[in-house]
DNA sequence: CAGAAAATGTACTGTCAAGTACATTCCTAC
DNA sequence: GTAGGAATGTACTTGACAGTACATTTTCTG
C-alpha cells in the first residue's frame, strides 16, 4: 500500500524499525492533537514527542494534513475499541447502561478534558480541510453503525418496536454523545454528559415494545 | 465600564466614531472566527475586514484573547436573538416544532457551514483558554435557561408531567443542538441535525402528561 | 481658537512553525 | 563486505502573525 500526494508516493515503511517510527509519529501526533487541537500542534512538537527528527515526518507523510488524516483513522479505531465490550453488544438495556457509565467514567478519569478526539477535530477541520472531512464522515458513520446494529438487534429481539427509524435514532445517539462531550469539557463537569446520554437512552426507551414494558 | 488587563485599562470608546470602530472590529472578528475558527483568524485579517489598522485593535483590546472574549458575548446574544421569536416562547408543542424548523432552516441556508458559533469556539478553546471557557459556560447557561423556561412553563400549563427534571432536560436539549450541529457541518447535511432535534423533542414529548396525551 | 484627549496610520520586532536541502548512518540482500 | 535503498540528523529558508513603538490626525471641550 502506498499513499500518493502530488505525484510523489509515500510508501509504508519497509523495515520493522521504520514501521515503529511511523507508528510513534502517529501516536505522538494523536496525543498532542487531542490535548491542544490541530492548529496548536506543531510538527516540531510531534517530532520531539516521538523522539524523531522532522525529516522523518516528511519522509513518511506528504504534509501536516496527511498526518492528521492518519491521526483521524487511528483515533477512530481507538475510540471504538475504547468503548468495548459494550459498544458491540448494545442489545439489552443493561448494556446500554453499561456503555453510558463507561463513557462517563472515562471523562471523569480524564478530568473532562479533551472531549471527543474525533468531534474536536471535526469541529476544527470540517469547513477548511475537505480531505479530513471525508475521513471524519467515514469515522462517524462507523460509530453510528455500531449504535444502529445494537438497536437493530434489540428490535429483532422484540425489545423495541418494529417502527423505529434505525438510522435516525443511531444518528441522534451519536449527536447526543458529541453534544454531551462538548458541554462536558466546557463545563468541566460530567453532569451535562450524563443528562445527554440519559436523554438519548430515555428516548430510545420510549420505543420499548409494549409487551416488554409491562413486563418490566 | 472599563476592562482591565495586567494593570492597564482598556476603556470603552468615548466618541461615537470610536464606538463604531470598536463594534466593527468585534463584528469582523466574529464573522471571521465563525468561518475559520479562532486559530486561523489573524488580527491582520480582522483589521482588514473592519477597515482598521492593527493599532486600533490593540487600542481597544488587551490582546487577541480579550477580543475573542468579546466575540463570544457578542455571538451569544446573536445566537439567542437569531432563535427568536420561538426560543422565548417554547411553551407549546407548536413552538418547539417552529424552533426546530428554524434552526434547521438556518443551517440549510448556510450550506451547513460553520456549525454553532459558540460550540465551535468552545470546542477550540475550552481546554486552553480558561478566560474564554468561563465566558462560554455563561453563554451556554443562558441558552439552556431559555429551554428550561419553556419546559417550565409547559409544566405549569399542565402540558408535561410534574416530575420532569428541568435542568437535566434543558441541558440535554442543548447537547442535542450542539451535537446535531457538529454532525450537520461534518456531513454537510441537515439530516443528522433533524434526527437529533427530533429525538430531543421526542424525548421531551415522552413526558407529556397523560391527560394531554389522550386528548391529542 | 487653543489644547488635550481620543483615534488612527505606518513601520518595525521577534518568534514560531511549515516545509526543504542535503549529508550521513543504518540495514539488508547479494 | 559491499552496494544500494531505507532511515535519520542538521541546518536552513520562508512566511505568517502576535505584539510594540511612535508619529500623526481627528475630535471634543473650554
Quick check: B153 CB within 7 A of strand D?
Answer: no
**Which pLDDT band, with edges at 50, 70 and 90, does A216 fall under?**
very low
pLDDT in tens, B191-200: 999 999 999 9
Which of B159, B28, B178 has the alpha carbon at shortest distance from B103?
B178
pLDDT in tens, B160-190: 999 999 999 999 999 999 999 999 999 999 9
* A192:B169 CB<8 A: no
pLDDT in tens, B62-112: 999 999 999 999 999 999 999 999 999 999 999 999 999 999 999 999 999
Statement: residue A215 has pLDDT above 60: no
Interatomic separation, CA of residue A19 and C1' of nucleotide D7, rounded (Å): 11
What is the DSSP-derived secondary structure letter of residue A91? -
**Which pLDDT band, with edges at 50, 70 and 90, does B13 fall under?**
confident
Statement: residue B6 has pLDDT above 90: no
More confident residue, A56 or A7: A56
Interatomic separation, CA of residue B29 and C1' of nucleotide C17, rounded (Å): 23
Interface of A with B in 43-102 (CB under 8 A): none
Among the partner residues B36, B133, B196, nearest to A172 by beta-carbon distance: B196
Statement: residue B158 has pLDDT above 60: yes
pTM given for the model: 0.95
CA distance B203 to chain A (A): 5
- pLDDT at residue A14, rounded to an integer: 79
**Which pLDDT band, with edges at 50, 70 and 90, does B14 fall under?**
confident
Interatomic separation, CA of residue A73 and C1' of nucleotide D14, rounded (Å): 32
Contacts with B141 (C-beta within 8 Å, 6 or more apart), sequence order: none
Interatomic separation, CA of residue A73 and C1' of nucleotide C24, rounded (Å): 34
Mean pLDDT score across all residues of chain A:
94
Q: What is the mean pLDDT of residues A38-50?
A: 98
Which of B69, B68, B43 has the alpha carbon at shortest distance from B56?
B43
Burial class from Cβ neighbours inside 10 Å (0-12, 13-18, 19+) for residue B153 reads middle
**Which pLDDT band, with edges at 50, 70 and 90, does B12 fall under?**
confident
Q: What is the mean pLDDT of residues A67-92?
A: 97
Quick check: A8 CB within 7 A of strand C?
Answer: no
Nucleic strand C contacts from chain A, 56-115, CB < 7 Å = 58, 63-65
Statement: residue B214 has pLDDT above 60: no
Measured between beta carbons, which residues in chain B are less than 8 angstroms from residue A196?
171-172, 175-176, 179
From residue B5, how far is each of A159, B10, B21, B38, B61 by CA, in Å? 59, 8, 21, 20, 9
Whether B13 and chain A come into contact, CB under 8 Å, resolves to no
pLDDT in tens, B18-66: 999 999 999 999 999 999 999 999 999 999 999 999 999 999 999 999 9
Among the partner residues B113, B175, B192, nearest to A196 by beta-carbon distance: B175
Statement: residue B9 has pLDDT above 80: no
Statement: residue A109 has pLDDT above 70: yes
Distance in angstroms (rounded) separating the CA atoms of residues A179 and B178 = 5
pLDDT in tens, B102-142: 999 999 999 999 999 999 999 999 999 999 999 999 999 99
**Which pLDDT band, with edges at 50, 70 and 90, does B216 fall under?**
very low
Q: Does the bond joining A153 to the residue before it have cis omega, within 30 degrees of 0?
A: no
Amino acid at each position: 500500500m502506498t499513499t500518493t500526494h502530488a505525484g510523489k508516493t509515500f510508501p509504508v515503511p519497509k523495515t520493522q524499525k521504520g514501521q515503529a517510527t511511523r507508528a510513534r509519529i502517529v501516536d505522538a501526533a494523536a496525543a498532542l492533537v487531542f490535548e491542544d487541537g490541530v492548529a496548536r500542534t506543531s510538527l516540531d512538537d510531534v517530532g520531539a514527542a516521538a523522539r524523531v527528527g522532522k525529516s522523518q515526518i516528511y519522509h513518511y507523510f506528504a504534509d501536516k494534513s496527511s498526518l492528521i488524516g492518519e491521526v483521524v483513522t487511528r483515533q477512530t479505531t481507538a475510540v471504538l475499541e475504547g468503548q468495548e465490550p459494550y459498544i458491540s453488544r448494545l442489545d439489552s438495556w443493561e448494556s446500554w447502561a453499561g456503555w453510558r457509565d463507561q463513557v462517563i467514567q472515562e471523562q471523569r478519569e480524564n478530568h473532562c478534558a479533551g472531549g471527543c478526539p474525533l468531534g474536536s477535530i471535526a469541529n476544527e477541520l470540517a469547513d477548511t480541510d475537505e480531505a479530513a472531512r471525508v475521513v471524519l464522515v467515514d469515522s462517524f458513520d462507523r460509530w453510528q453503525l455500531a449504535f444502529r446494529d445494537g438497536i437493530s438487534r434489540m428490535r429483532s429481539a422484540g425489545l423495541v418496536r418494529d417502527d423505529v427509524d434505525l438510522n435516525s435514532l443511531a444518528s441522534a445517539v451519536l449527536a447526543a454523545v458529541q453534544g454531551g462531550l462538548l458541554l462536558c469539557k466546557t463545563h468541566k463537569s460530567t453532569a451535562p454528559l450524563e443528562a445527554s446520554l440519559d436523554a438519548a437512552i430515555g428516548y430510545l426507551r420510549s420505543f420499548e415494545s409494549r409487551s416488554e414494558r409491562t413486563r418490566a
